[in-house]
Amino acid sequence: MNHNVVTDRPTFVTHLECSISGERYDADRLHGLSRAGRPLLVRYDLAAVRARLSRDEVETRQTDMWRWRELLPVRGTENIVSLGEIETPLIPIPASGGPRVLVKDEGRLPTGSFKARGLVMAVAMARELGVKRIAMPTNGNAGAALAAYASRCGIETIVFCPEDTPEVNVREIAMQGARVWRVNGLIDDCGAIVGKGAAEGHWFDFSTLKEPYRIEGKKTMGLELAAQLGWRLPDAIFYPTGGGTGLIGMWKAFDELEQLGWIGPERPRMYAVQASGCAPIVRAFEAGEEHAERWEDAHTVAAGIRVPRAVGDFLILRAVRESGGKALAVGDPAIMQAVEDCARREGLLLCPEGGATLAAYREALKTGEVDETEQVVLFNCATGLKYPMPPAPDTLDRHAEIDFAAL
């Protein structure tokens, strides 16, 4: 692997920083976790960005992910790998949510999920830094995004997933060029295999937050949201939280936007939504802890948030607490009821993880945690088309007499 890159292209990245100790690292070298074993965060010369770029100029650009290039880490434009990362829409759901509830529908992205945001950035940076082979654990959608982008730019990919990962995810990973292995365990068991292989030099470890750049892709959700709402953030954000990269990324985005002078100091309350069958962040939040212990016997219909242990647990908890939000858990029946209600009443097919945010919002409304006059954004992280749906078995014999009233 070539661990260094020489470039003459302008960039605003200054360095990387350990998220727990603040120790600085060179930006143009390949890094995993910091020496303290924690995620590295990308830092920018925001004063220089502010001098070079105005909010008005950003608004004139095409509304894709790369309109934010001054706040992204890729130095060489030739290293950008893209499948058309659009700005995702905000969909009102008045009948199943409420008058001021919007769903940011990330299912419109390439490979059908918000994992595309993080993986397109991480793969572009891997390409820039000379990585030739990548391995990653996945509950499904991240593996699909990695396979698509890595195959597109010629990086070899090996993916490990729990054996009960949705079949469509396993097949799309394989179809898009990765070698995919089903493992008799959970995602952190898969991650242990990836880590051991990386330590032995077989591949680079692309696990959540174990490289610095997935956060930078995911933070574009926060940048987009600010622009879509006229540079005023919502009162609350409900985010499905497994590894929590997007929640951490959005919190970072809001800080960077304030430093640019594009938004004020107001912040949404951040609600980290987990399933009650796998809720390590909720347990740590309620106990006042900074780190979350592994959740044993994790189970939920929302596979994407079935993450027993998150390496960025303290960053998730920090953002939730600083925002005045909470970590909330919802049961599988409430999740599936929310998915059904939104589909039948709104015509919007949520994935189970997106359903969890609607279920959590409904619960928060009942307890007075949120008010129906507040503007709330729920994140639907993938298209509902990837998930099993109830059977629809009714048939009609065109040769028999048809009872039209019964239809």
Q: What is the pLDDT of residues 193-220, one digit of tens each?
A: 999 999 999 999 999 999 999 999 999 9
Residue 183 forms part of a structural domain: no
Residue 340 forms part of a structural domain: yes
Residue 9 pLDDT:
47
Listing DSSP states for 122-190 in one string gives HHHHHHHTT--EEEEE-SSHHHHHHHHHHHHTT-EEEEEEETTS-HHHHHHHHHTT-EEEEESS-HHHH
Residue 135 pLDDT:
97
Residue 123 forms part of a structural domain: no
Q: Which regions of the chain are under pLDDT 50?
A: 1-9
Residue 11 pLDDT:
79
Rounded-to-10 torsion of CA 61, 64, 65, 70: -10
Q: How far apart are CA 119 and CA 194, in angstroms?
A: 17
Q: Which amino acid is at 287?
A: A
Helix axes 245-260, 313-323, angle to 10 degrees: 50
Q: How far apart are CA 339 and CA 349, in angstroms?
A: 7
List alpha helices for 20-100, DSSP H. 46-52, 55-60
Residue 67 forms part of a structural domain: no
Structural domains counted in the chain: 1
Q: How far apart are CA 30 and CA 2, in angstroms?
A: 9
Residue 49 forms part of a structural domain: no
Query: Residue 321: which CATH number?
Result: 3.40.50.1100
Residue 155 pLDDT:
97
Range of the domain at 274: 90-112+214-386
Q: How far apart are CA 339 and CA 343, in angstroms?
A: 6
Residue 10 pLDDT:
59
Cα dihedral across residues 394, 398, 401, 405: positive or negative: positive
